[in-house]
């Protein structure tokens, strides 16, 4: 069982890279963004609540995120491992994930962070916003608010996972295949 946490700021390429990594390593991809979008699209109670936060450029509260994530993990009892994309985003979520995985006899194997300059990422998101239809990708102020949220709440995960010897940083700038090769070089050593 290999469980990888893939994180980075919005627009860093987590979703794109997750598609390659889930296939290469036969992992179940769990994207909190996909889970949120599914629940929002289907107007579930959890989805409507999540939408109110996302539209303001804020992170969805931990309890709500964790409930959606646990439901998704439970749907995949026979997986060879999980690729967590966009979760955890806070040390509290990381603790909750560790505790939940322990109940299954599992744990986080490694955390891989895609690192990129904010200005490059803002440009990526504004470009994505032209076709994604996502309000939070079309407004530079909302994007920058998401980065401030990331810096305040998510960046402390670096120290959290470094303390466990599970943190790996990967340059997220370049051609998609180059970035995939960088990620694979880290994962192949696990």
- Residues assigned a catalytic role: 14, 89, 128, 134, 146
Was 163 annotated as part of a binding site?
no
Was 100 annotated as part of a binding site?
no
Was 124 annotated as part of a binding site?
no
Was 170 annotated as part of a binding site?
no
Q: What is the Cα–Cα distance from 143 to 155, expressed in whole angstroms?
A: 16
Was 165 annotated as part of a binding site?
no
The DSSP bridge partners found for residue 85 are: 6, 31
Task: Evaluate whether 83 touches 69 at the Cβ level (below 8 Å).
Answer: no
CA distances to 57, 87, 109 from 53, in Å: 7, 16, 30
Was 182 annotated as part of a binding site?
no
Determine the number of helices (DSSP H) and then strands (DSSP E) in the chain.
9, 5
Which residues participate in the annotated binding site for AMP? 32, 37, 58-60, 86-89, 93, 134, 146
Residues annotated within the binding site are 11-16, 32, 37, 58-60, 86-89, 93, 128, 134, 146, 174
Residue ranges for the binding site for ATP? 11-16, 128, 174
């Amino acid at each position: 069982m290999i469980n990888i946490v893939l994180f980075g700021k919005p627009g860093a390429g987590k979703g794109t890279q997750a598609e390659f990594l889930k296939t290469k390593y036969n992992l179940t991809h769990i994207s909190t963004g996909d889970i949120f979008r599914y629940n929002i699209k289907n107007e579930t109670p959890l989805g409507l609540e999540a939408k109110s936060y996302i539209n303001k450029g804020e992170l969805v509260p931990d309890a709500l995120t964790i409930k959606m994530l646990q439901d998704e993990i439970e749907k995949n009892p026979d997986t060879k491992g999980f690729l967590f994309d966009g979760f955890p985003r806070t040390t509290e979520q990381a603790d909750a994930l560790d505790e939940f995985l322990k109940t299954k006899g599992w744990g986080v194997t490694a955390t891989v962070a895609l690192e990129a300059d904010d200005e490059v990422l803002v440009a990526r998101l504004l470009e994505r916003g032209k076709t994604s239809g996502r309000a939070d990708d079309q407004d530079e102020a909302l994007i920058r608010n998401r980065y401030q949220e990331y810096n305040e709440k998510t960046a402390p995960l670096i120290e959290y996972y470094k303390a466990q010897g599970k943190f790996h940083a990967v340059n997220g700038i370049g051609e998609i295949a180059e970035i995939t090769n960088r990620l694979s070089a880290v994962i192949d050593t696990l």
